[in-house]
Amino acid sequence: MKFPAEVKQILLASVLAAAYPMVVHAAVMEYSKTDVVLRSGPNDRFPAVGMVMAGSRVHMSGCTREYGWCDVTVSGRSGWMPAADIDVEYNHQRLPISRYIRIAERPGIAVVSFDIDTYWSRNYAQLYFYTEIGIWRNIH
């Protein structure tokens, strides 16, 4: 079936517009701006699961609603970092998350929630503190 040129242009524009947010977010890179302790939950009181060195590339899955903490993966280890310790590369410069979300047209940072049972069973079932999960459920 032949489509008129206008229909082809509209279809192509629609496909490109739908893909645009994915392309923009894929190009964004995040870095640790300081040495920071990687935590097993979005609070300084959760057990540490590693150390992230300043300048390390991190893959950010998303941040809590107020952008206080972000769920990241660093060298294959998942954990939580304070958003204030993460820089986002945007337009060839590294910006704090707070500035990035104000100026980026489509920041593409997902808002994520934390469910300790799901998160810990997926990431930390083999670690020593997993058996103490009941103690950690009420940390906020």
95/60 Cα distance (integer angstroms): 15
27-136 folds as SH3 type barrels. (2.30.30)
Write down the domain spans for the chain: 27-136
The DSSP symbol for 2 reads -
pLDDT, tens digit (0-9, with 9 covering 90-100), for 15-51: 334 443 443 444 579 999 999 999 999 999 999 999 9
pLDDT, tens digit (0-9, with 9 covering 90-100), for 72-110: 999 999 999 999 999 999 888 999 988 888 887 677 888
- In this predicted structure, what is the pLDDT of residue 108? 80
100/109 Cα distance (integer angstroms): 10
pLDDT, tens digit (0-9, with 9 covering 90-100), for 41-73: 999 999 999 999 999 999 999 999 989 999 999
Q: Which helix (H) or strand (E) holds 32?
A: strand 29-32
- In this predicted structure, what is the pLDDT of residue 126? 96
